[in-house]
Amino acid sequence: MEMELESDIQKIEKIYVPSELLDREENMVDCRPGGYHPVALGDMLKSDRYKIFHKLGHDRFSTVWVAKDHQLERWVSIKIITADKTSQSRELQHHRALSKLSQGHLRSKHIVRLFDDFILDGPNGRHQCLVYELLGPPVNWMLSSSPHECHVAEERLDPEDILMISTHLLEALTFLQENGYTHGDISVNNIAYTSDLISVLSEKELLKVLGNPEADDMRRVDGEPLGEGIPHHFIRSTTWPGYPHDDDDADDEFRLFDFGEAFTRDTIPEKLAGYVCLQSPEAMFTSNFDHRLDLWSVGLTICYLAVGSLPIHEWPMNALINSSKEYYYGLPKEWQQRKERLRRDAEEEYGRALRGGREPPGLELEVAFRKTVKEPELQVLLPIIKGLTKLTPSNRMSAGQALFLIGMPHEECYATDEGRDVKCY
Give pLDDT, residue 323. 44
Q: 402 and 361, same structural domain?
A: yes
CATH number of the domain that residue 182 is part of:
1.10.510.10
Q: 288 and 235, same structural domain?
A: no
Q: Among the three residues 186, 210, 242, which one is the final residue of a domain in this structure?
A: 242
The count of domains in the chain is 2
Among candidate residues 256, 130, 131, 248, the one with its CA nearest the CA of residue 198: 248
Judged against a pLDDT cut of 80, whether residue 316 lies above it is answered with no
- Section 120-147 average pLDDT: 88
Span 116-132, pLDDT tens digits: 999 999 999 999 999 99
Give pLDDT, residue 55. 97
Name the maximum alpha-carbon separation found in the chain: 73
3-state secondary structure of 162: helix
Q: In the 8-state DSSP scheme, what is residue 327?
A: I
Span 281-304, pLDDT tens digits: 777 767 778 899 999 999 989 988
Q: What whole-number distance in Å separates Cα of residue 253 and Cα of residue 208?
A: 22
Judged against a pLDDT cut of 60, whether residue 234 lies above it is answered with yes
For 47-76, b where at least 16 C-beta lie within 10 A, e where not — what string?
Answer: eebbbbbbbbbbbebbbbbbbbbeeeebbb
DSSP string across 240-258: -TTPSPTT------EEE--
Q: 324 and 181, same structural domain?
A: yes
Number of other CB atoms surrounding residue 324 within 10 Å: 14
Q: 274 and 156, same structural domain?
A: yes
3-state secondary structure of 81: strand
Q: 142 and 86, same structural domain?
A: no
More confident residue, 322 or 336: 336
Mean pLDDT comparison of 16-25, 43-52, 224-233, 359-368, highest-scoring range: 43-52
Global pTM reads 0.82
Q: 141 and 85, same structural domain?
A: no
Identify the domain containing residue 331 by its residue range: 136-194+251-425
Cβ neighbours for 264, distance < 8 A, ≥ 6 positions apart? 94, 180, 181, 182
- Section 176-195 average pLDDT: 92
Start-end of H helices in 232-338 = 281-285, 293-307, 316-322
φ, ψ (nearest 5 deg) of residue 117: -150, 155
